[in-house]
Amino acid sequence: MTVDSTNTPIVSSTILSAGMSLTMSSREIAELTGKNHQHVRRDTKKMLAELGVDDVGYVQVWTDPQNGQKYEEYALPQNLTYTLVSGYRTDLRLKIINRWMELERGTAATTQILALPRKRKPAFDVAFRRCMNIVALLPNVDENQRVMMAARGTFELTGVNPVSLMGYASLPAPDQTNYLTPTEIGREFGLSGQAVNQILAQAGLQRKGDSSAVRSDWTMTAKGLGYGRMFDTTRQRGKGSQQQLKWKPEVALFVRPFARTPEAVS
């Protein structure tokens, strides 16, 4: 709500009509733009003076229905209204234009909701192809990883994970090596997955990585590149994907000395 120069609250105004010509009151402009009515009147008076136009023909009296007091306001035709707000912010100008369009349609609403166009999501197949084109440029990423990365990007753009939609929870490694999780490795030696992670870190095969929602807590070191591989796996119900570091069976060489089961030690 804006305030008149007398600090009287300004209620929603109506569009005035002089003969067959539509006009917009300075109070209406103040309400739509969130400006003080006194400032809009000042700007209007200055504009008319710069145009060499006598403002008397545009001044009218408005009576506040709540207290019966009378106030001066301006009633401007469309061209002068647009001229007045030409220096205002773009979003404020759009509100004025929307209001005039509402008038010309003959509606009687006294406020205008600024309706911005909705951003349409791309088709998931189109988004997937575009993501594949992008990840193809990334170095040191195999084909399966590219597919999963593109699927994750598609999900972010469209809400659809095409890999999950086709029934795949994960893609096998290109060389068909049976990569194992730390938990799976630890079962053979009576160790927890957490303990295996610490052993592999001490052996210099991995280090703490980015623990974000989509990346693994661990990342391979240069030494670990020959033993492990980062997998992209979809989350439950296809809600995006996340990375998981798995290891070749050969890492047992580093874990065996810490085994808690006699069979694994021998």
The predicted-structure confidence for 225-263, as pLDDT tens digits, reads as follows 888 887 766 555 545 556 788 898 999 999 999 988 755
Task: Report the alpha-carbon distance of residue 19 to residue 22 in Å, rounded.
Answer: 8
pLDDT at 152 over 90: no
* pLDDT score at 87: 80
Task: Report the alpha-carbon distance of residue 9 to residue 19 in Å, rounded.
Answer: 29
More confident residue, 214 or 97: 97
pLDDT band for position 15 (cuts 50, 70, 90): very low
* pLDDT score at 19: 41
Task: Report the alpha-carbon distance of residue 133 to residue 154 in Å, rounded.
Answer: 12
* pLDDT score at 197: 92
Task: Kindly report, residue by residue over 172-222, the tens digit of the pLDDT.
Answer: 555 556 889 999 999 989 999 999 999 999 999 998 876 555 556 788 888
pLDDT band for position 165 (cuts 50, 70, 90): confident
Alpha helices of the chain — where are they, by DSSP H?
26-33, 37-50, 78-85, 90-104, 124-135, 143-158, 162-165, 182-189, 193-202, 252-255, 262-265
pLDDT at 168 over 70: no
Task: Report the alpha-carbon distance of residue 196 to residue 192 in Å, rounded.
Answer: 6
Cβ atoms 181, 246 nearer than 8 A: yes
* pLDDT score at 256: 92
Q: Which of 6, 23, 5 is nearest to 75 (CA)?
A: 23
pLDDT at 102 over 90: no
* pLDDT score at 5: 43
- Least confident span in 65-69, 129-133, 163-167: 163-167
Query: How far lies 1's CA from each of 13, 28, 35, 171, 258, in Å?
Result: 11, 11, 9, 59, 73
* pLDDT score at 110: 42
The rounded mean pLDDT for the chain is 77
- Tell me the backbone φ, ψ of residue 7, rounded to 5 degrees: 65, 20
pLDDT at 34 over 60: yes
Report the pLDDT averaged over residues 62-74: 84
pLDDT at 104 over 60: yes
